[in-house]
Amino acid sequence: MKIRLLILSALSCLLSTPFEGAPLPVAPGDFTPQPLVEKTADGFRVPQPGHRFEFPRDHGSHPEFKVEWWYLTGHLFGPDKERFGFQATFFRKATTPASAESVAGAKAFRADEIFLFHAALLEVGSGRFIHTERLARSGWDAGASVEKLSVHVGEARLRGEESQKNRFTLDASIREEGGFSLDLEALKPLVVFGNDGVSRKGDSPTAASWYLTFPRMKAVGEVRIKDRLVPVEGKVWMDHEISSSQLTGEQAGWDWAGIQFEDGREIMVYRLRRKDGTTDPASALAWVDADGKTTHYGASEFKWEASGQWRSPVSGAKYPLPVHLSAPDPATGKTVEWTLQPLANQQELDGAVSGVPYWEGACRVLSAGREVGAAYVELTGYAGALGRALR
Amino acid sequence: MSSSLERASPVPGRVVWNLLRRFTWRHWKGQPLRSLLLLLLLSLGVAVFLSIRLANRAAVASFTNFAGVLSQQADATIAAPAGLLPETVLEELRRKTAVRGSDALAGLELIPIVETVCAPPRTGEDSRMGTRASFTLIGVDLVALQNFAAQQKFDRRWFDQKVEGAEKNGMDGEQALVRLLTRSNAVFCSAKLAAREGLQVGSTLVAVVNDQAVTFEIAGVIPGRADQPESPAGLLVMDLPALQVLTGKVGGFDRIECLFPSAAREGANREILLERLRRAVAGVASVRTAESRRMAAELMTRGFRLNLTILSLLALLVGLYLIFQALDAAVVRRRSEIAVLRALGVRDSEVRRAWLWEAALLGVGGGVLGVAGGWALAQGTVRAVSQTVNSLYYANNTEAAGLHFGEALTAFLLAVVCSVLAGWLPAKRAASTPPAQLWAQGGRAAATGGESRLRSVVGWGLLTLSVGLAFCPPLTFQGGARFALAGYFSALFGVVGAGILAGDSLRFAAWLGAWVARRSASRKLAISHLRAPTSRHRWAAAGLLCAVSMTGGMSVLVGSFEHSVSEWIGHLLQADIYLTSDANQAATAYNRIPASTWKQVTGDSAVADWDALLLVPVEFGGGGIRLAGSDLGFYHRHHQFSWLKEPLSEEIFEVQKNAGRCVVSESFAARFRVARGESICIPTPSGERVLEVAGVYTDYGDDQGIVMVDRTHLQEWVGTQEVSTLSLTLRAGEDPEAVRARLRNSHTGLAVFTNVHLRGEVMRIFRQTFAITYALEAIGVGVALAGLGMTLASILAERRAELTTLRALGMSRRDIAQVAAWEGAVLAFCGTAGGLVSSLGLGALLIFVINKQTFGWTLQPAIPLRALLLLGVAVPVVGAVVAWTVGRFGADLPADRTR
């Protein structure tokens, strides 16, 4: 979900909501969305509950759906405890239901499917943040296998190992400024968020996704900062989300976090913000315990608040940072509070290609002043530039 | 003055400065008009040289790769040796050059390109070739381009541009992108073209591609950055798949431009990446670096550009004679003062340095003015150069020439160095002659016996050297390009040597003229001045000889060329009607006529016989040549070949028997040193073919080289039924003009010529390519004539005392003007006669050595008598008129004015 969707599907929505320090009130009423339909108006499939996922096939591409992404974030450490945060995202967006409308005979240059790649790297010690975006039409320079996880955009690629369903390699370069190559191995089983395999994102009969996550993966590899190579190890969060239409017209943006606690548990949380200033009831929080079992909470059961504000000198957007989150802990039944403290404020991707600036950054997780984990936080719809860039 | 010099004498530099300030400057100030004229003539020489250099540079530096429009020139270009690159190459390249994300060599950008040349449709009856500015239409992946626009922070995006003045285009970004990618006729144009034609988003632009007039819709202006050069005016960009369909190149493209990551732009990393690319496309395509690609373009036009550059030096060379004679005259005029200075203790070296400084300052002044003038002149010459490059080599729409610092500096230094060189001998003479001798020499500046001998030795020595150099082979470069370096030096030494000896002809002319002048006092007087010619007389004659010799030599070359081309097209053009795509306005435009069209045309009831030619550019021996496919039997039946080495067997003309055989043009044979009977290995889109060379024929339309095979075979190798040109022989009684009109109406994308019209076009283009040559020659002759006027003015000024006596004896101003006119006419006649004689030698050198070595063409020598006669009469007559005018002014004595 997250920015991925904003970039790829709701280009006509202007996501701009002023910063408010207090938590947004949840829109009144129970969240009882409309039943899902089979297909969108433009002919794409809509994710249905009860789907039996098969791997490695379902790690691959689903071209009958309109939107899909593979989203990796993580925290890496060098031999001298040098710390890095990274993000690598492969987006796929079908522009028309079929390829018949694309220009004839051009398999190497398809017009019916487009890929977008984002990568970012934070060198925590120096605060240096580098990032890149790359747009490519499906064909010779971008594509995704329908049989297994194998997606590439330009030189960036994410591939599953032939014999292993839970081992992957990731390569991404950020022009001459840096890059990273990582071997990934899932430390916990795959999690499917939502109810009966479907994650609802709004009231609309098409606003749903299949949301598959490896919440904790071991990463081993190298990070390059200019021409300096650093061997690294760390932990990674990997999402794979498939949908055809998620946002509704009332939604203005959303905030997301993937938290990896030191006790081996994780939280995935998203808050959908509505244009009227309320939190959409489709917002959700899910705990993943050490065995991969999930516990879901609704919008009214957790709080996402800002405990400060950071203004981007690039886009001018005001981001509500740090984040204050409180939610019940299923292990104790008590409400716990955390502060998601950015490792650097400047972790905004400026949207040079997509036209959608957003903040996606590595954070440390503090509870009662003690560091209890690491998180990646995503804040979208705070830059007025979204509408301008994609006018 | 003496006291100040004495005071300054301990510091030699100050003495020189004082000499310049108090002595030299006074002379310059005293004759401002002459000083200004000298300066202007020198600056004209510099300006002409610089303008040609700038125009050449602009023409060569025009659009060479698309990457330059995005951010930087491509580091490497990948292209097939013949035909298109298959799309599968891209995936292979990406796969084989893949590195891990943490590798410092990550970040290789591959930009596939489809390119064609198209042209606006003809208007009215005008169907002249090469007169309409072509567009270079580039097909490139518009989605990928957005990445570059973002990285480079361009002033706009590729998609989603709006109609000017409108707030929104009614679409969101995604809709705009999808719309753009699914439209087959959306193009982006340069900001220049948009401004010139009033184009904006949604406007239409019609251009001919192959045989169709296509209506393009303007999707926007090519994005750019204010601090980067603007896109070329003739550049159009559209989505690659759409252009593939439009040009029939579906599934392939013309080249891949590669941008290297910054860590691999130079040094070992660059070589590593180049090697990876070469390995990735081995056997399918070749990888060329930016330098080698630029070099190839430069080599293609090198002969043409060098010819222009050397011609442009004519005015400067003549200008040098002027500086020499002006400074030499100054030595004579100022000899009394020099003697005084020397007597006062000024050292030889100081006098020499002051003289050299004077020459250098003249060079500085001329250089500065010349650079300014050269840039201004270049704006005019660039169009002529560009049009010729367009007609002969590749599509080129260069309209302006920038002032290049390196070229300007070269021109400036050339002016200074040449001035100093020209001032060397006068400076030596001024410094070395003893004071007593300076006083004793009176008003004459006759050469000493030693100088005269030295002059003869140098003159004849240069002529001998010139003859020797004419037999030296050319320099050869990669790709078969050649450069007649020895030939050019032979020409230079020949002209300078003849110029040095030209003065000796004045005595002979005086002796000969004595009989003619026996009944006229003014003629006698004029002739008497030439019996013992001063060095200025000699240099004026030398300057004229130089100009006339080069002009005459070029006339001989052009005359021979015209004669040969005329004979050649007489053989070649025998059909009644010729057709090609109307978009082929440039030599590298390879628009074709689709099979459906040419079959329809050749099926016309008026057509009795026909032939078609298919042209395919291929790479051979490291350079570009053209592979041609035609009905060799048709050529043979209609005697269209002009053979240099005729095939020994008739089998080459039979399609069933000529597989594996070819005939080659003379340029090809010379460029690659291939002889009849030898075998060559030619790349084709379907693989390499070994062909036996059955014959060598003349082709003056191409200097890169043509390999011709039977069309049936070439079409099979290329996998197409398309053709490049059609020639039709009409049935008896059919009116070619009527058929032409009919075909033009039914095929608006085709250029249709009758035989007469096409012959006229060939000769028009031929003459157009020499237009700039004529202009350069005219300037050279003009400078020489101005030099003649200056010489006479200077001589008359020195003879003031003599003139006053003559006036006192009863000669009128008119009589004195007549004396000057006769003197000038004989001088001009001698320079011209010598020039005409040496022009024959120079013409032979140009035809048999320089042309042959540069272009590989055998020309039949033809002496353009009319042109040479005109030159022989016009120059002395204009010389006499100039001299008469100078004489009129020169005879305006102070004594007359006080009367």
pLDDT grade for A101, boundaries at 50, 70 and 90 = very low
Annotate B513-529 with DSSP letters as a single string.
HHHHTTT-HHHHHHHHH
Query: What's the pLDDT score for residue B389?
Result: 64
Nearest CB among B98, B146, B169 relative to A135 is that of B146
Q: Which of B94, B104, B108 sits opposite A227 (nearest CB)?
A: B104
Average pLDDT over residues A160-165: 76
Per-residue pLDDT band at B784 (split at 50, 70, 90): confident
Query: Do the Cβ atoms of B802 and B526 come closer than 8 Å?
Result: no
Tell me which chain A residues have a C-beta less than 8 angstroms from the C-beta of B110: 141
Location of structure tokens 């969108």: A40
Tell me what pLDDT residue B443 has: 43
Would you place residue A385 in the very low, low, confident or very high pLDDT band (cuts 50, 70, 90)? very low
Selecting from B87, B107, B177 the residue whose C-beta is nearest the C-beta of A108 gives B87
* pLDDT score, position B456: 85
User: Which chain A residues are Cβ-neighbours of B87 within 8 angstroms?
Assistant: 107-108, 140
Residues of B in contact with A95 (CB under 8 A): 174, 177-178, 181
Rounded Cα distance, B409 and B271, in Å: 34
Average pLDDT of span B237-242: 92
Residues of B in contact with A171 (CB under 8 A): 100-102, 106
Helix pair B535-572, B865-890: axis angle to 10 deg: 150
Taking residues B55-63, report their average pLDDT. 63
How far is it, in rounded angstroms, from Cα B725 to Cα B709? 15
Instruction: Please judge whether B147 and A224 are an interchain contact, meaning their C-beta atoms are less than 8 angstroms apart.
Output: no
Residue with tokens 């249709």: B752
Q: Tell me if chain B has a CB within 8 Å of the CB of A155.
A: yes
Answer yes or no: do A140 and B184 touch at CB < 8 A: no
Residue B857, pLDDT score: 80
Whether B102 and A103 lie within 8 Å, measured CB to CB: no
Q: Residue A102: pLDDT band by 50, 70, 90 thresholds? A: very low
pLDDT value, residue A320: 94
B263–A140 C-beta distance less than 8 A: no
Paired tokens of B611: 């032939």
CB contact under 8 A, A175 and B239: no
SS3 labels along A101-164: CCCCCCCCEEEEEEEEEEEEEEECCCCEEEEEEEEEEEECCEEECCCCCEEEECCEEEEECCCC
B376: pLDDT strictly greater than 50: yes
Chain A residue closest in CA terms to B169:
A391
The pLDDT value recorded for residue B757 is: 83
Name which of B90, B107, B150 is nearest A352 (Cβ-Cβ). Answer: B150
**Coil/strand/helix, residue B359:** helix
* DSSP string for residues in B481-499: -EE-HHHHHHHHHHHHHHH
> Under an 8 A CB cutoff, do B241 and A135 touch?
no
Give yes or no for residue B320 having a pLDDT over 80. Answer: no
Quote the CA–CA distance of B838 and B830 in Å, as a whole number: 12
The CA-atom distances, in angstroms, between A143 and each of A61, A162, A190 are 9, 18, 23
B107, B172, B184: residue with CB nearest A12: B172
The neighbour count for residue A114, using CB atoms within 10 Å, is 23
Which residue does chain B place closest to A224, by CA atoms?
B102
Check B173 against A101: CB less than 8 A apart: no
B chain contacts of residue A137, beta-carbon cutoff 8 Å = 141, 143-144, 181
Q: Could A390 and B174 be called an inter-chain contact, meaning their C-beta atoms sit closer than 8 Å? A: yes
What are the contacts of A299-302 at 24+ separation with CB within 8 A?
Answer: A299/A26, A299/A31, A299/A271, A300/A26, A301/A327, A301/A328, A302/A269, A302/A326, A302/A327, A302/A328
Residue B67 confidence class, pLDDT cut points 50, 70, 90: low
Q: How confident is the model at residue B663 (pLDDT cuts 50, 70, 90)?
A: very high
Q: What is the mean pLDDT of residues B641-655?
A: 90
| pLDDT beyond 80 at B734 | yes
Inform me whether the pLDDT recorded for A181 exceeds 90: yes
Does the pLDDT of residue B237 top 80, yes or no?
yes
Name residue, tokens 């997509």: A354
Q: What is the model's pLDDT at position B778?
A: 77
pLDDT at position A104 is: 42
Contact between chains at A101 and B182 (C-beta distance less than 8 A) = yes
A105/B147 Cβ within 8 A: no
**Measured distance CA(B465)–CA(B472) in Å, rounded:** 11
Contact between chains at B245 and A390 (C-beta distance less than 8 A): no
Mean pLDDT taken over chain A: 85
Higher pLDDT, B890 or B236: B236
Q: Are A211 and A194 a contacting pair, CB within 8 Å?
A: yes
Nearest to A155 among B108, B241, B251 (CB): B108
Query: So what's the ipTM on this one?
Result: 0.85
Q: B213, B748 in Cβ contact below 8 A?
A: yes
From A312-326, B26-40, B717-731, the region with the lowest mean pLDDT: B26-40
pLDDT at A255 over 70: yes
B349-361 residue pLDDT tens: 777 787 788 888 8
d(CA B316, CA B308): 13
The pLDDT value recorded for residue B713 is 94
Nearest chain A residue to B242, by CA: A103
Interchain pair B101, A108: CB under 8 A: no
A105, A108, A156 ranked by CB distance to B90: nearest: A108
pLDDT higher than 50, residue B41: yes
Residues of A in contact with B280 (CB under 8 A): none
Q: What pLDDT, on the 0 to 100 scale, is given for residue B250?
A: 86
Q: What is the pLDDT of residue A72?
A: 98
Contact (Cβ atoms closer than 8 angstroms) between residue A282 and residue A202:
yes
| Cα–Cα distance list, B347 to B335, B359, B485 (Å) | 15, 19, 43
Task: Examine the pLDDT at A18 and tell me if it is beyond 60.
Answer: no
Average pLDDT over residues A259-273: 95
pLDDT reading at B850 higher than 50: yes
Residue A21 has pLDDT above 50, yes or no: no
Please compute the mean of the pLDDT values over residues A156-162 and round it to a whole number: 89
How far is residue B783's CA from residue B354's CA, in Å, rounded to a whole number? 27
| A140 interfacial to chain B (CB closer than 8 Å) | yes
Nearest to B107 among A135, A176, A222 (CB): A176
Contact A355, B173 (CB under 8 A): yes
Q: Which residue has the higher pLDDT, B588 or B24?
A: B24
CA dist B674 and B409 (Å) reads 42
Q: What is the pLDDT averaged over residues B461-478?
A: 89
Residue B6 has pLDDT above 50, yes or no: no
Alpha carbon distance B835, B827 (integer Å): 12
What does the pLDDT average to over B632-654?
88
The least confident of B12-16, B289-293, B886-890 is: B12-16
pLDDT class of B583 with cuts at 50, 70, 90: confident
What is the reported pLDDT for B899? 47
CB contact under 8 A, A135 and B174: no
Average pLDDT of the residues in A78-93: 94
Q: What is the pLDDT of residue B434?
A: 67
Tell me which residue of A60, A65, A58, A59 sits closest to A94, measured CA to CA.
A65
Q: Of A272 and A374, which is predicted with more confidence?
A: A374
| Interface membership of A353 toward B (CB under 8 Å) | yes
CA end-to-end distance (rounded Å), chain B: 34
Nearest-angstrom CA–CA distance, B400 and B102: 45
**Contact yes or no for B174 and A175 at CB 8 A:** no
Q: What separation, in Å, do the N-terminal and C-terminal C-alpha atoms of chain A show?
A: 22
Shortest distance, CA B86 to any CA of chain A (angstroms):
10
Concatenate the DSSP letters of all residues of A329-389 into one string.
Answer: -TTT--EEEEEEEES-S--EE--TTTS--EEEEEEEEEETTEEEEEEEEEE-S--THHHHH
Q: How many CB atoms lie within 10 A of CB B95?
A: 10
Q: What is the C-alpha to C-alpha distance for residues B237 and B241, in angstroms, rounded to an integer? A: 12
Tell how far CA B71 is from the center of its chain: 30
Mean pLDDT of B851-856: 81
Amino acid at B881: V
Q: In terms of pLDDT, which residue wins out, B448 or A289?
A: A289
How much is the pLDDT for B1? 38
- pLDDT for the residue numbered B39: 80
Residues of A in contact with B240 (CB under 8 A): 106, 109
Contacts of A134 in chain B (CB under 8 A): 147
Q: Is the pLDDT at B447 greater than 70, yes or no?
A: no
The values of phi and psi at residue B314, to 5°, are -55, -50
User: C-alpha B123: how far from its chain's center?
Assistant: 30
Residues from chain A contacting residue B108 (CB–CB below 8 Å)? 155
Residues B351, B438: Cα–Cα separation, whole Å: 14
| Of A256-265, B43-52, B186-195, B868-877, highest mean pLDDT | A256-265
For residue A156, the chain B residue with the least C-alpha distance is B101
Q: Which residues of chain A lie closer than 8 angstroms to B114, CB-CB? A: none
Band of residue A1 on the pLDDT scale cut at 50, 70, 90? very low
A227 reaches B (C-beta below 8 A): yes
Domains and CATH numbers, chain A: 3-389 (2.40.370.10)
Q: Has residue B57 got a pLDDT over 80? A: no
Assess whether pLDDT exceeds 90 at residue B377. no
Residue B439 in this model has a pLDDT that exceeds 80:
no
Mean pLDDT score of chain B, rounded to an integer?
80
Q: A residues 7-46 near B, CB within 8 Å?
A: 11-12
Mean pLDDT of B299-326: 69
Q: Tens digits of per-residue pLDDT, B695-716?
A: 999 888 777 889 999 999 999 9
Number of alpha carbons in the 13 Å side-chain half-sphere of residue A272: 24
pLDDT at residue B608 is higher than 60 = yes
**pLDDT in the model for residue B283:** 84
pLDDT of residue B392: 58
Distance, in angstroms, between B222 CA and closest chain A CA?
16
- CB A381, CB A375: distance < 8 Å: no
Residue A74 forms contact with B (CB below 8 Å): no
Percent of chain B surpassing pLDDT 70: 82
Distance from CA of A271 to the nearest CA of B (A): 26
Confidence of residue B417 (pLDDT cuts 50, 70, 90): confident
Q: Please say if the pLDDT value at position A363 is more than 80.
A: yes
Share of chain B above pLDDT 90, in %: 15
User: How far is Cα B682 from Cα B623, in angstroms, rounded to an integer?
Assistant: 12
Q: Across the strands, what pairs with B610?
A: B728
d(Cα A157, Cα B98) in Å, to the nearest integer? Answer: 10
Q: Do A171 and B101 touch (CB under 8 A)?
A: yes
Mean pLDDT along residues B579-606: 84
Structure tokens at B152: 């480079």
CB contacts of B178 in chain A (<8 Å) are 95-96, 111
Distance CA A137, CA A92 (A): 9
Confidence of residue B395 (pLDDT cuts 50, 70, 90): low
Which tens digits make up the pLDDT trace of A303-356? 999 989 999 998 889 999 999 999 999 999 999 999 999 999 999 998 887 778
Q: What integer pLDDT is reported at residue B3 of this predicted model?
A: 42
A111/B172 Cβ within 8 A: no
pLDDT at B440 over 70: no
Inter-chain touch B101–A172, beta carbons under 8 Å:
yes
Nearest CA in chain B to A108: B87
Residues of B in contact with A114 (CB under 8 A): 143, 177
| Most confident range, picked from A59-68, B422-431, B555-564 | A59-68
- Span B92-135, pLDDT tens digits: 898 888 888 888 888 888 999 999 888 888 776 666 666 667 78
Residue of A14, A92, A173, A183 for testing the chain B interface, max B β-carbons within 10 Å: A173
- How large is the average pLDDT for residues B754-760? 84
Say what the pLDDT of residue A283 is.
92
CA distances from B451 to B323, B437, B446 (A): 19, 16, 10
Nearest chain A CA: its distance from B102 CA (Å): 4
- Does the pLDDT value for residue B338 go beyond 60? yes
Q: B887 and B792 in contact (C-beta within 8 Å)? A: yes
A238 pLDDT band, cuts 50/70/90, is: very high
pLDDT at A79: 94
